[in-house]
Chains A and B, each alone.
Chain A
Amino acid sequence: MNALAGTSELTRLAVRRDRILLPVWIYVLTAIVASTAYSLKKGYPTAADRASLAAGVGHNPSIAAIYGAAYSSSFGGITAWRAGLIAAIGCALMSIILVIRHTRGDEEAGRLELVGATSAGRQALPVAGLVLALAACTVLGLLIWVVCLLLGMPVTGSLALGLEIAAAGWVFAGIAVACAQLTASARAARGIAASLLGAAYLLRAVGDANPGVSWLTWVSPLGWAEELRPFAAERWWVIALSAGATVAFSALALVLAAHRDVGAGLLPDRPGRPAATRWLRGPVTLAWRLQRGSLFGWLGGFLVAGAVLGAAAHGIGALLNSPQVRADVFRYGGHASLVNAYFVVLFQEAAIAAAAFAVAASLRLHDEEAGQRAEPVLAAPVGRIRWAAGHVLTAVIGPAVLLAGLGLAAGVAYGTHGGMGSQVLRLLGAALAPVPTAWVMAGVAVAVFGLVPRLAVGISWGVLGVAALLAIVGPLVRLSHWVLDLSPFTHTPKLPGVAFTAQPLLWLTGLAVLLAGAGLAALRQRDIG
């Protein structure tokens, strides 16, 4: 049997199934780069403006840890610095989602058996998933190239920017297809691939911020994206690293795929308990049982990120002398201290990640309903609100636990240089302040789930994406205030460093309660399934 037979049919099927998702991803990522470029052009019209931006914020090690280093002060250079890494992460995420969905996702759902029984070869499915993701990344890279050309950037630099973004996607397509061979569950495979993406981000963050360990940047596929250095004497050979890694991971995946059973993972499935423990006795404990693994996984990531980025804050201080630095940092944080500004940015990004957890936890409701696992619980004497409560509770408590973990870890790591107790308390408080923003995002997910369940996934993630972009890119590109105000992430007090105000947090919490209440009320009235 030809192991690759049927690949082209399967690829076409995958394209057909993703005919909406795929263009949306590609459009959004292209739009991020285009709108960032356009706004930078308006916000920093002269070469002098851009030079001071790049020399100031662009070379601050702690800002570099979060956004990467700026290698050129040209229009293209600051665009690449500001949007390159975000788009590369977005592209890598797209690859992971696409590949897992079309490989392990199909396998777990049992659809692969239908395919496996036809003349399709056993490597056809992973190859089809890979081909789709690689093509999507490449199309995205080309589109970004074209957009940059249209905005008047140099040809080679634009191509390099498009390539660095596409290449990050290629590598993670390879990583994802290898992860898909490891576990029997698509969720776990996605989790492993996403943790590797997080690790790649942290490695290059530490490498960029600390010249002593700059080799760490070279360990990370996201670091390669930066080191291509678009618009700053491009180093084309770096592409070979990405291409090589993609080929290596893909080859590994194909070897693994050829040597395992359909439906099985390489990591062994542990046997379960023959009977339930005493505490697994209601819908709320069931929700906790279903979500705890993912919460612990996220918490691990938050602890590591907090410790690493908290320790990196020590590098700040030497650059305080330039007035331009102060001016630009002021725009992010709204106060004088660079260290505080750094933590403000860090905690804001952490809040966005925590909101992503809250959305995922809320959307478990949709998963359970669509997977017909809500039915057996609702056919028992369990009201719909009680059924939903456990998952909503996870979405409420989860972000607080995650951000507390991050704040604690950052406080301990930063406090090793003195004032441990006060630093821990200060950073813990500051990290916890944006928790209500995550609740608002969870509220949106619950509301959409209750009112229009069919669109729950798309709308919830879409709203989170827009709110996050407004908060991350908005202030730097000087969007008008009423646009920025649409994002809940711009409303939290910019802690640490400013006086704490409870009022916006109360408003956000109230909004979250209203949204979730509307969703739950609708859930009680509508058909299930």
Chain B
Amino acid sequence: MNDFPELENELRALRPARTSPVIFERIEEALAENCRAPVSGAGSMANWLRRFTETPFRFGIGLVAAAAAVVLLLARINTDQTRNEDKEIAQVAPASETRPVLPAFSGGSGVNGSMSSNKFVPAGATQVVYNTRNEGLQFADGSRQPLRRLRYQTQQTWQWRNPSTGASLRVSYPSEEVVLIPVSGQ
């Protein structure tokens, strides 16, 4: 029946590598953790959840997540395209940039009154100082302290965006600002 009794004995004499002592602690912890977990309805719910997240449900969840990501990506691309178109329109219509017309924020009146959803929200403001002129010292209103008069010439730009339609409005105009800075003698 058995042709290799000697070989079998030799094999039995060969001892497998011992388990590390850490594994006992790990198993104990895992079993204790299992005990702490509720056994009744909540336990079965946890089991159900665990089974649900295991294969093949995990595959389904992955598919749903991937589909959601694709939909979000497409929506994002669509919005970006709309924004780009708006930018192009703004660039080819310089008259609207120079005319200081405020957008209609929510009342439905003004230049954008025909729009279905006229809710523009501020999207940005810039002020570029392109010239500064020092106009010297002066005494204002009988003050004893001298003031330095500085004149700033700037270009201000305001921008609004309609989140629902993606439309944007930009107003840009030159401005001049005079600033009086007190000068203290030391």
Do chains A and B interact in one complex? Answer: no
B residues with a Cβ closer than 8 A to A are none
A residues neighboring B (CB under 8 Å)? none
